[in-house]
Chain A
Amino acid sequence: MAVRAPSSDLPIALENASVSVGALTILDRISLAFSPGTPTVLIGPNGSGKTTLIRLAMGLIEPTSGRITFGGRERVPPLRRAIVFQRPAMLRRSAAANIAYAMAAAGIDRARRPGRIEELLALVGLTGFGERPARRLSGGEQQRLALARALARDPEVLFLDEPTASLDPAATKAVEDVVQAVVARGIKVVMSTHDLGEARRLAGDIVLMHRGRVIESTTAAEFFSTPKTQEARRFVAGELLV
Chain B
Amino acid sequence: MPGDASALQLVLSADPALMGIVWLSLGVSLAAVGLATIVGLPIGALLALTRFPGRNACIVVLNALMGLPPVVVGLAVYLLLSRSGPLGSWGLLFTPKAMVIAQAILVTPIIAALARQTLEDLWVEYRDELAAMNVGPVGRISTLIWDARFSLVTALLAGFGRAAAEVGAVIIVGGNIDGFTRTMTTAIALETSKGDLPLAIGLGIVLIAIVVAVNALAWGVRRTGERFAG
Question: B132 contacts A78, CB within 8 Å?
Answer: yes
B60 within 8 A of A: no
Among A82, A85, A91, A136: residue with most chain B CB under 10 A: A91
Q: Which of B10-18, B45-53, B70-78, B123-131 contacts A (4 or more CB under 8 A)?
A: B123-131
**Chain B interface SS verdict (over half):** helix
Considering only CB atoms, which chain A residue lies closest to B127 in the complex? A89
Within 8 A of B (CB), among A53-109: 58, 60, 77-79, 81-83, 85, 88-93, 101-102, 105-106
Question: A89 contacts B134, CB within 8 Å?
Answer: no
Partner of A102, one of B128, B133, B147: B133
Residues of A within 8 A of B227 (CB): 133
Partner of B230, one of A92, A101, A102, A153: A92
Residues of B within 8 A of A106 (CB): 133-134
Question: A93 contacts B229, CB within 8 Å?
Answer: yes
Residues of B within 8 A of A78 (CB): 131-134
Residues of B within 8 A of A136 (CB): 230
Residues of A within 8 A of B139 (CB): 105
Considering only CB atoms, which chain B residue lies closest to A77 in the complex? B134
A side interface size, CB within 8 A: 24
Question: Shortest beta-carbon distance, A106 to chain B, in Å?
Answer: 7
Question: Shortest beta-carbon distance, B131 to chain A, in Å?
Answer: 6
Residues of B within 8 A of A135 (CB): 229-230
Question: A105 contacts B229, CB within 8 Å?
Answer: no
Considering only CB atoms, which chain A residue lies closest to B148 in the complex? A92
- Compute how far the CA of A89 lies from the CA of B230 in the bound complex, rounded to whole angstroms: 12
- Compute how far the CA of A133 lies from the CA of B133 in the bound complex, rounded to whole angstroms: 20
Partner of B129, one of A81, A89, A93: A89
Interface residues of chain A, those whose CB is within 8 Å of chain B, are 58, 60, 77-79, 81-83, 85, 88-93, 101-102, 105-106, 133-136, 153
Interface residues of chain B, those whose CB is within 8 Å of chain A, are 122, 125-126, 128-129, 131-135, 139, 143, 147-148, 227-230
Closest 7 A/B residue pairs (Cβ): A133-B230, A135-B230, A92-B229, A105-B133, A92-B147, A136-B230, A89-B125
